[in-house]
Amino acid sequence: MHQDPELEVTPLASYLQNTEPGISCRTSPVQVLEEYVSMFSMKTHHLARIAALAALPALSLVSGCASTGIVSSSNPSRDAPRAWRDYDQLPVRILGSIPGKSQAELASLFPSAPESTADSGRHIVFYVNASQLPAKSNLCSDPESFRAGSQAGDLASVTGALCDGQREVTRASGNVRSVDQSPRWLFKNFDLIRYQLYQALYPGANNPASYQQG
């Protein structure tokens, strides 16, 4: 059977072996993934995109500097990706804490979002090291029910939501390496979850694990 060359996939491991040594320490894992996707002759092809998204956990494991493992993501809104192409320009609100990092340091990672959700418009919210999360589908509308917890080890537990005001568009959860990370690399680690919030808009890109409220 003839195989469509547009659907041929180079395994991520092989791709990384053929890149320059230390690429993960000089390049954002998101950029590495985008370069991996660009090898396909049709970058936006549905199957190609899914194949690349499936490589995200593996990419986080081979990255020597930045490290983020995506645990789950979902798209309760069914919004179209084209409506959120500016996701990386949206203000971001970070709730919770990371050992050794001040609130000011966390807030400086991204353009800050308004404290009030009533008229906050399109934004992203990250809940860090939660002992209790807002109820499912209320990540954008009820941040007041968030309760901060403690962090054990090097990884911070992060749940994020892409928000249209109080409406939850997508959500994603992951573990972010936070110990001994410079602001630059801490940003890159959070950025992988922000990137997954956008990719969750694509059909087949999600792994909706059980929602944990703490």
pTM greater than 0.85 (yes/no): no
pLDDT, tens digit, 9 for 90 and up, residues 41-88: 444 455 555 555 555 544 444 444 445 677 778 888 889 999 999 999
Q: Which residue type, as a one-letter code, is found at position 85?
A: R
Count CB atoms within 10 A of the CB of residue 1: 2
Q: pLDDT tens for residues 113-147?
A: 666 554 568 999 999 999 999 988 899 999 999 99
What are the tokens at 138?
Answer: 């209320």
- Distance from C-alpha of 54 to C-alpha of 58, rounded to nearest angstrom: 8
Q: Are 113 and 125 spatial neighbours (Cβ–Cβ below 8 Å)? A: yes
